[in-house]
Amino acid sequence: MRTYVPKADEIDRQWVVVDASDQVLGRLATEVARILRGKNKPEFTPHLDTGDFVVVINAQSVRLTGRKEEDKKYYRHSGRPGCLKTTSLQEMLEKHPERIIHKAVWGMLPKNRLGRKLLRKLKVYSGPEHPHAAQQPTALTL
């Protein structure tokens, strides 16, 4: 018996639309990361990109559990001393709700070249409209 490893031209990539309204953030992010990685396919290979493209809509209406809206903070640093910037999840929901899902999914992907390549296949939109109708995406219910 030999292990089957798919070639790059044999990988069939689909487009999937996920509606984030009333979905818990962490559970949504795990499913999206699973689809991006290709773990839902029988030809999954850990070192290859076998996943699908994912379009997440209605990011502004994602659900959070506990007191995360008040307590959770996002940090970024420019590299210069004293330049740590802090943003609460509540501020992020008001200004950039798509970044919340983007950061949650990035936390569940490998931190290497493959992970960065996978993250480029994620498209997140705060409203119900998206410009990927030409790809004929299939709707996925979680």
User: Which of 2-6, 48-52, 103-107, 118-122 is predicted with the least confidence, judged by mean pLDDT?
Assistant: 2-6
Q: What's residue 1's pLDDT?
A: 81
The rounded distance, in Å, linking the Cα atoms of 108 and 67 is 22
Q: What is the 3-state secondary structure (H, E, C) of the chain?
A: CCCCCCCHHHCCCCEEEEECCCCEHHHHHHHHHHHHHCCCCCCCCCCCCCCCEEEEECHHHCECCCCHHHHCEEEEECCCCCCEEEEEHHHHHHHCHHHHHHHHHHCCCCCCHHHHHHHCCEEECCCCCCCCHHHCCEEECC
Number of Cβ within 10 Å of residue 24's Cβ equals 14
The rounded distance, in Å, linking the Cα atoms of 105 and 20 is 13
pLDDT tens digits, 118-142: 999 999 999 999 999 999 999 998 8
The rounded distance, in Å, linking the Cα atoms of 64 and 104 is 12
> Across residues 29-44, what is the average pLDDT?
96
| CATH topology classification for 12-140 | Ribosomal Protein L13p; Chain: A; (3.90.1180)
Domain boundary assignment for the chain? 12-140
Altogether, the residues listed in the chain come to a count of 142
Q: What's residue 130's pLDDT?
A: 95
The rounded distance, in Å, linking the Cα atoms of 6 and 118 is 17
pTM of the model: 0.92
pLDDT tens digits, 65-121: 999 988 999 999 999 999 999 999 999 999 999 999 999 999 999 999 999 999 999
Q: What's residue 29's pLDDT?
A: 97
